[in-house]
Amino acid sequence: MWNPRFACGVALVLVFLCGAAVGALIMDFGVHNRTSPPAFDTPQGRAAFFDRMNRELKLTPAQSEQMRSILTDFWDYYRTVLSDGKSRIEQILNDDQRRKFERILQERQRPY
């Protein structure tokens, strides 16, 4: 006969391991990425933001075209500022620090 405490402990461990396995499978298939919105500065993020503005503000066709133009200008400006900031930071770093900085930026761009 099994000790009830031992049987309960084994059951708890098995439930935990099953949950961990299911969680790992879900993460491996990328299901978690589908639940979060796309990054703001990606084409998908831009389209999603524009669609939301268009839908929620109920823009007229003329307003919609102007909104697209303004948002495109904003995103271009955003990219320019990021690029300029990156190059200015790289100018003050030594070679080793630049490599580490690049690694940090690459880690930041990985999907979660």
Alpha-carbon gap, residue 95 to 30, rounded angstroms: 36
Is 77 found in the same domain as 102?
yes
Count other C-beta atoms under 10 Å from residue 38's C-beta: 15
Please give the tally of structural domains in the chain.
2
pTM tops 0.75, yes or no: no
- pLDDT tens-digit readout, 85-95: 999 999 999 99
- As given in the structure block, the two tokens for residue 25 are 């499978």
Enclosing domain of residue 101: 37-112
**CA atoms within 13 Å, Cβ hemisphere of 93:** 14
Per-residue DSSP letter, 60? -
- pLDDT tens-digit readout, 97-107: 999 999 998 88
Alpha-carbon gap, residue 96 to 26, rounded angstroms: 37
Is 46 found in the same domain as 31?
no
- As given in the structure block, the two tokens for residue 42 are 């990606």
Residues contacting residue 41 through CB under 8 Å, at least 6 positions apart: 75, 78, 79
CA trace torsion 97, 103, 112, 81 (10° rounding): 70
Is 44 found in the same domain as 27?
no
